[in-house]
Structure 1
Amino acid sequence: MIDFHCHLDLYPKAKEVYAESLRRNAFTWLVTTSPKAFRATSSVLGRHETVLISPGLHPEIVSERFEELDLLTAQIDDAIAVGEIGLDGSKRYAASYLKQKQVFSAAVKRCHDMGGRALSIHSRQAVPDVLELLRLFPDHGVPVLHWFTGTASELKTAIGQGCWFSIGPAAFISSAGKALARKLPRDRVLPESDGPFAQLDGRSVMPWDFDITVALLSDVWSLPFEEVRAQLLSNARMFVNKIGYTKLIKKLI
């Protein structure tokens, strides 16, 4: 099983979920919501080659954690991946939008300056600004737009800029989500859970729910389950190779 966007540290009984992920998953990308959370999670859960823990500063909490920006940019220096970062243009977070742009711009610039990183990016109602900031710092690395909900035009632009897309079961609940999933470039799609926040049938999506995503994509792409599964595993191998996490290649075969 594989999971390219998971808040594993925020599940109830996180240590148990972590242990189960080590048992079940060949790879789990654990995105954190703040630099201090990254530091604590790395210490409490420990490090394992199949779990990539990345520093981030979630746009939804920028207003409370803005002072951690310098810590984030420092942590990027020693990371191969960054996330969750990005912008949220919804009305609920409008008051912090300028600070969000400061944080995201600083993070992308640092990735650019350091020769590139993998980035797991939140872009709700802010896709044009996200893509513009990525364009301004072209050596940022490999961007993954997590749970993309932009327009068809924005999707086309994102594809043109080399973006990847992570998607999980909760993205298929709406008809609009299914329609967008149908248009994603099949060779740049990665599975995610976005647990514990993402819900399916009244429960949190788990890091090992990979095959649920495969089945849902199989339906919207009108392809056999095994073909979709093979495609996502191939994408995963290509992605971890691009970001230099090559010790995982054999585990993902």
Structure 2
Amino acid sequence: MMDFHCHLDLYPGAREVYREAARRNEFTWLVTTSPKAFAATSSALEPLPSVLITPGLHPEIAQERAAELDLLLEQIARVKAVGEVGLDGSPRFKVHYEVQRRIFGAVIARSAELGGRTLSVHSRCAVRDVLAELKRHPNFGTVVMHWFSGSLAELKAAAAHGCWFSIGPAMFESANGRALAAAMPRDRVVPESDGPFAKVAGKPIMPWNAIRTAEGLGPLWGLSNDEAAETLARNGCTLLRTMDRG
């Protein structure tokens, strides 16, 4: 199993969950919410070959952590992937949207300057602006749209731009989420948990619950659960090769 977007450091009993994810999963992408969180998490958790820890600056806390941007740009030079970064244009966070845009623009420009990175990108109510920033820096690398929630037209535009999509069990809880998942390019979808924030039946999704993503996708794609799981595994291996090249 694989998990391409997980806040492993934020689970209760994080060290135990971290070790269990490393034991159960072939690969887990631990995204952090700020440059200082990345530094602290990297120091606190023992390096394990199946877990990738990456620096990020979550758009929901852009205003609070804007002073850490220079640190993030330094960290990006030492890693092959970045996350979580992006834009959030929802009403609660739109008040600091210009700060978000400045940070995200700098991250994409830095990634392009360094020859490309794989980025886990948050795009709630901001897909068009995310894509516009990517177009300004065509050598940015590869973007994985985390828990995509835009329109079908925006999904088509993101797919045309070469974006990947990471989706988890919580996405199938809504009709819109199911419709988006059904329309995603099947060769560019990988599993995620987004735990501990994402929940099903009130319980956080665990990093080793990728099989639930396959179970959600199977009926939408007209595949058996096993076939959907095989597709996700194949896609995951392809994306990992892309990340290694970056």
User: Do both proteins adopt the same fold according to a TM-score greater than 0.5, normalized to the shorter chain?
Assistant: yes
Name the aligned partner's letter for residue 219 of structure 2.
Answer: D
Q: Residue 236 of structure 1 corresponds to which residue in structure 2?
A: 236
Q: Once the two structures are aligned, what percentage of the paired residues are identical?
A: 54
SS in 2 for 1:162: coil
* Shift of residue 164, structure 1, vs aligned partner: 0.1
Q: Higher mean Cα deviation, 236-245 or 43-52?
A: 236-245
- The equivalent of 1:36 in structure 2 is 36
> How many pairs are equivalent?
246
Partner of 1:47: 47
Q: Are 1:96 and 2:101 matched, yes or no?
A: no
Gaps of 5+ in 1: 247-253
Alpha-carbon distance, 1:46 to partner: 2.1
Distance in 2 (alpha carbons) for counterparts of 1:185 and 1:224: 17
2:191 — aligned with what? 191
Tell me the residue number matched to 1:213.
Answer: 213
Measured in 2, the distance between the counterparts of 1:107 and 1:181 equals 27
Q: Give the match for residue 12 of structure 2.
A: 12
SS in structure 1 opposite 2:118?
A: strand
- Cα distance, 1:119 vs structure 2: 0.2
Paired residue for 1:131? 131
Hey, what does 1:249 align to over in structure 2?
none
C-alpha distance after superposition, 1:149-175 (max 9, x if no partner): 111111111111100000001111011
Letter in 1 for 2:86: G
**In structure 1, distance between residues paired with 2:70 and 2:78:** 14
SS at match of 1:82: strand
Report the Cα offset of residue 245 of structure 1.
6.7
Q: TM-score with structure 1 length normalisation?
A: 0.96
| Alpha-carbon distance, 1:222 to partner | 1.8
Equivalent residue of 1:211, what SS?
A: helix
Partner residue in 1 for 2:26:
26
SS at match of 1:52: strand
Q: Distance in 2 between matches of 1:22 and 1:30?
A: 11
Q: Distance in 2 between matches of 1:243 and 1:25?
A: 17
Secondary structure of 1:206's aligned partner: coil
Secondary structure in 1 matching 2:28 = strand
Instruction: Report the counterpart of residue 81 of structure 2 in structure 1.
Output: 81
| Residue identity matched to 2:16 | E
Helix, strand or coil at the partner of 1:42:
helix
SS in 2 for 1:243: helix
Q: CA deviation at 1:234?
A: 0.6
Residues 154-202 of structure 1: CA deviation (Å, up to 9, x unaligned):
1111111100000001111011111111000000000000000000011
Partner of 2:111: 111
Q: Aligned partner of 2:102: which letter?
A: Q
Report the 3-state secondary structure (helix = DSSP H, G, I; strand = E; otherwise coil) of the residue aligned with 1:171.
Answer: helix
Provide the residue aligned with 1:204 in structure 2: 204
Distance in 2 between the 1:94 and 1:216 partners? 32
* Runs of 4+ that moved beyond 4 A: none
Per-residue displacement from partner, 1:75-99 (whole Å, max 9, x unpaired)?
0000100000000000101111000
RMSD (Å), alpha carbons: 1.0
Q: Residues of 2 paired with 1:223 and 1:146: CA distance?
A: 23
How far, CA to CA, are the matches of 2:226 and 2:172 in structure 1?
19
Q: Which letter maps to 1:227?
A: E
Report the secondary structure of 2:92's partner residue: helix
Deviation at 1:14, TM superposition (A): 0.2
The aligned residue for residue 163 of structure 1 is 163
SS in 1 for 2:93: helix
